[in-house]
Structure 1
């Protein structure tokens, strides 16, 4: 057996058995100590920066400025979040830095000339892209973000609708003093409780952009009210602020370019086809009279399938849901099973209408497969998809889509009679 003596480390010789691959030492603890020492050297933070040396970006806006990009970064003001003793400061909780450049990277580097700290985007929560920039294409912007290790890719992306992205970042908000917190929570809550928005994160957006089987969508955000007042600290101190941020509609993409918008009705219809309706309300006229009735949708399931009938390709979308009668202004007897059946049919009809609106906009107006029908076809019949994928933009607008909705109203809350009926008893 051949023994090799390695140099003395920590005062001990290591003996290695080269035939059996084992380590023979007079004191095994030396090996463990050596291993720990090596691990410390491997995990050291050679480029560590202290927190008080960073300017933490929580929201970013991208606009066009001539032939250049205008980069706006909303940076947290730590001293304004909470003063000593926990009292809120009257100072602005965030500050806005802006810089232009031929690229996103150049604009970001130039920003160091105005910031006293290193700008850090690892805590980015919201990216707002202007409608104007999105219409020209986002491939260059997405290329930089995908390569830069500092971006975590788990932040939300939205489109500034009818205004610049920097204007969105200038609005002071209530409840959440940090505006991106408000935008993030509002987007997440509205997508779950209303169904007219889509909470899309950067990693999903980039995946949809490069995916040849599905196009991307993003939620639009607008400034409502007096935008000039919204840029003052007083806006965040009023019960009824003069300017508010509100989400509105879904932006439809074709590859990396924004090509148009879905209204709220079509946006909800789109989310039904994606199985992304967690909870919402369906409102329609009463069977008799001009009053309204509301059904609260609690759970939905969606199933999309591809088939060919007599050589004709078709997509079948089946949506099933459970719901409650939430608001009944009608003069109807909710204790009768046939009344519930009638309300189920009206609910199904209304949901089919919203889905039809989304299909019409995507197929006929924008010719953009935001539904991912290409993915369904490829998953079901790869050979057929391989045959048509090069001409998918021509095939998609004429694709036959069949929609089936099944509603199951299980509860009518605490009473079977309307409040007006109980008043007249």
Structure 2
């Protein structure tokens, strides 16, 4: 076998590792560790700052390792059967590099997670699960609010959240049906520019979110006809409607259901009005849930491909 899975239990992680001396004739070394997978029950029950405390103190720790959340039991993830990788841990490490190709999950290192937790900020962590065919999959995110897992975002909701935060690492693809043209378009956006502005009028707080999408037509399915003058404006309008709906959906979920500011709205208030922030930060989850957010989306198609 290319890997050996060792299961240890203890009241603390340090105790469990110490018990490893009774099971392995080799010293357990964490300097080459690449992945941490936290089980759903643990992430919901205990504050992650405490769960990860051992890594902050161990001199062998590598702060660039990636942190993921398991949907269900973390041990079940390690029993997955990747198609090509020699082990689940190698699959997860390689899969995290795919973040440059998609925004359907996020990549956060241990250092980034610890910094967010120490600052009391909410954060998104990549979700991993095992599909019915036994293959592991990284898609979607877990919502960490006040140090604990409170729920999940689907891959599509994760995309919308990252469009707002600007954490996109590479190009992203959006499918846009246009019945008027009898076509379905795949639009590839390699430049997404979000702008988030907090506003205060008559002591009433609100946010204005403007996002500009610049991209090209990557695929056109359906009617084989060549695009005509004015068709691009129609496609852009349809794309803006699809994106706006996605953004409204994720904003509603984060504000009403989870009350988790993973989008960093609070940081912008702290930066612009530090004195006001001091008076509202303790009640920020409740305030965040009721803040009006105005969304403005602009799509520009700058390329149509050779055939168009």
Fold agreement, TM-score > 0.5: yes
Alignment counterpart, residue 334 of structure 1, candidates 209, 220, 227: 227
How far does residue 180 in structure 1 lie from its aligned partner after superposition?
2.2
Once the two structures are TM-superposed, the CA of residue 170 in structure 1 deviates from its matched residue by: 2.5
TM-score (norm 1): 0.69
The DSSP-based 3-state class of the residue aligned with 1:375 is: helix
Q: C-alpha deviations, 1:6-58, integer Å up to 9, x for none?
A: xxxxxxxxxxxxxxxxxxxxxxxxxxxxxxxxxxxxxxxxxxxxxxxxxxxxx
Partner SS state of residue 296, structure 1: strand
Question: How far off its partner does 1:185 sit?
Answer: 2.1
- Contact 2:105–2:141 (CA<8 Å) still a contact in 1? yes
Does structure 2 conserve the Cα–Cα contact (< 8 Å) formed by 1:216 and 1:255? Answer: no
Within 2, Cα distance between the matches of 1:265 and 1:353?
A: 11
Task: Verify the 8 A CA contact 2:77 2:88 in the aligned structure 1.
Answer: no
Q: How does 1:11-410 map to 2 (within 5 A)?
A: 92-137=1-46, 138-162=48-72, 164-189=73-98, 191-212=99-120, 214-226=121-133, 243-277=134-168, 278-288=170-180, 291-331=183-223, 333-336=226-229, 338-410=230-302
The answer on whether the counterparts of 1:292 and 1:328 sit within 8 Å (CA) in structure 2 is yes
Cα deviation code 1:223-270 (max 9, x no counterpart): 1134xxxxxxxxxxxxxxxx2110132111111110111122211111
RMSD over aligned CA atoms reads 1.7
> Is the CA contact 2:81–2:136 (under 8 Å) kept in the aligned structure 1?
no
TM-score (norm 2): 0.94
Q: Shift in Å at residue 333 of structure 1?
A: 4.6
Gap regions ≥5 residues in structure 1: 1-91, 227-242, 417-425
What is the rounded CA distance, in whole Å, between the counterparts of 1:379 and 1:218 in structure 2?
25
Within 1, Cα distance between the matches of 2:181 and 2:306? 24
Residue deviations 1:119-153 (CA, integer Å, cap 9, x gap): 00111111111001100022322222211121111
**Aligned in 2, Cα 1:203/1:126: closer, same or farther, shift over 3 Å?**
same
Task: For residue 194 of structure 1, report the CA deviation from its aligned partner.
Answer: 2.1
289 and 302 in structure 1: CA distance in 2 versus 1, 3 angstrom threshold? closer
- Does the aligned pair in 1 maintain the 2:143–2:262 contact within 8 Å? yes
Q: What are structure 2's unaligned runs of at least 5 residues?
A: none
CA distance in 2, matches of 1:132, 1:325: 43
**Match in the other structure for 1:24:** none
State the partner residue of 1:420.
Answer: none
- Superposition deviation, residue 105 in structure 1: 0.4
Matched residues, number: 305
Larger radius of gyration: 1
